[in-house]
């Protein structure tokens, strides 16, 4: 399995020859997002696009309309109304805990805690991965996921998003060790939701991969931080 962090919540998951792109966003409110050198032309052709929710930093309709026809696009069932006018033949709404098979992979939508009808995604292939999307530290949820699956890796949002200095309830690096323990201590963690959103000074992000690494070290955990900057990839 290969994981590539692009920006914010946009990642590329490659498993058994299948390519999944999560939350593909290149512009937010018309502004190009860093790294601006990475354009839609460089994005691999996906076998599936997973949209965790429809906040503007996770959902860009113009990108979805540029995908090849019939590309499967999965998103929360309660949010598909926002996308029906785009004429996407592959659009599908998912409910929490709903599972489906795709090209040899087992995929399960899982709840998230962000007050936006959001979902995460479990990918079961030769390894098992949890894409947490955009969620706060929900102990009951993480415990349930850790008990149901033996995770090898997690794409975990650690940016500690702040609006005008006030916490937006996102996971902080110091909370990550607790999250990882609840999830069964997956070996690989790829930090997300910390880079690629250029809306300063309105928004700021205190969580970084370096702070995540320090928190994991201080907690005496064995998890490996798989990537430390946009466009990096890790294989495991």
CA distance 73 to 16: 19
Q: What confidence category does residue 196 fall into, taking pLDDT thresholds of 50, 70 and 90? A: confident
Q: Is the pLDDT of residue 42 over 80?
A: yes
Which pLDDT value is given to residue 165?
Answer: 67
Domain residues for the domain of 219 are: 2-235
CA distance 25 to 60: 5
* Cβ atoms of 42 and 75 closer than 8 Å: no
Short-list 176, 169, 181, CA closest to 210: 176
Which pLDDT value is given to residue 178?
Answer: 98
Angle CA(171)–CA(153)–CA(15) in degrees, nearest 5? 130
Mean pLDDT of 147-157: 98
**Which CATH number fits the domain that encloses residue 25?**
3.60.15.10
Which pLDDT value is given to residue 200?
Answer: 62
pLDDT digits (tens, 9 = 90+) for 72-124: 999 999 999 989 999 999 999 999 999 999 999 999 999 999 877 899 999 99
The domain total for the chain is 1
Which pLDDT value is given to residue 201?
Answer: 67
CA distance 10 to 144: 25
CA distance 207 to 191: 9
Q: Please enumerate in sequence order all residues whose Cβ is within 8 A of that of 70, keeping only pairs 6 or more positions apart, or say none.
A: 89, 90
Which pLDDT value is given to residue 135?
Answer: 93
């Amino acid at each position: 399995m290969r994981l590539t962090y692009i920006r914010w919540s946009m990642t590329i998951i490659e498993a058994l020859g299948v390519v999944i792109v999560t939350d593909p966003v290149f512009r937010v409110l018309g502004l190009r997002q860093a790294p601006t050198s990475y354009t839609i032309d460089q994005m691999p052709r996906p076998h599936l696009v997973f949209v965790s929710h429809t906040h503007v930093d996770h959902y860009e309709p113009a990108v979805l309309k540029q995908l090849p026809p019939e590309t499967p696009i999965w998103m929360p069932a309660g949010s598909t109304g926002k996308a029906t006018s785009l004429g996407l033949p592959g659009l599908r709404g998912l409910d929490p805990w709903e599972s489906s098979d795709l090209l040899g992979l087992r995929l399960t939508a899982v709840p998230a805690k962000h007050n936006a009808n959001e979902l995460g995604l479990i990918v079961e292939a030769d390894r098992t991965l949890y894409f947490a999307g955009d969620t706060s530290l929900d102990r009951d949820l993480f415990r349930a996921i850790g008990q149901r699956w033996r995770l090898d890796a997690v794409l975990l949002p650690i940016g500690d998003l702040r609006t005008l200095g006030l916490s937006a309830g996102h996971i902080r690096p110091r909370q990550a060790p607790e999250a990882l323990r609840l999830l069964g201590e997956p070996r690989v963690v790829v930090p997300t939701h910390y880079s690629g959103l250029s809306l300063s000074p309105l928004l700021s992000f205190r969580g970084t991969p370096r702070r995540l690494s320090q928190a994991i070290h201080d907690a005496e955990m064995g998890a490996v931080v798989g990537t430390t900057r946009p466009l990096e990839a890790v294989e495991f």
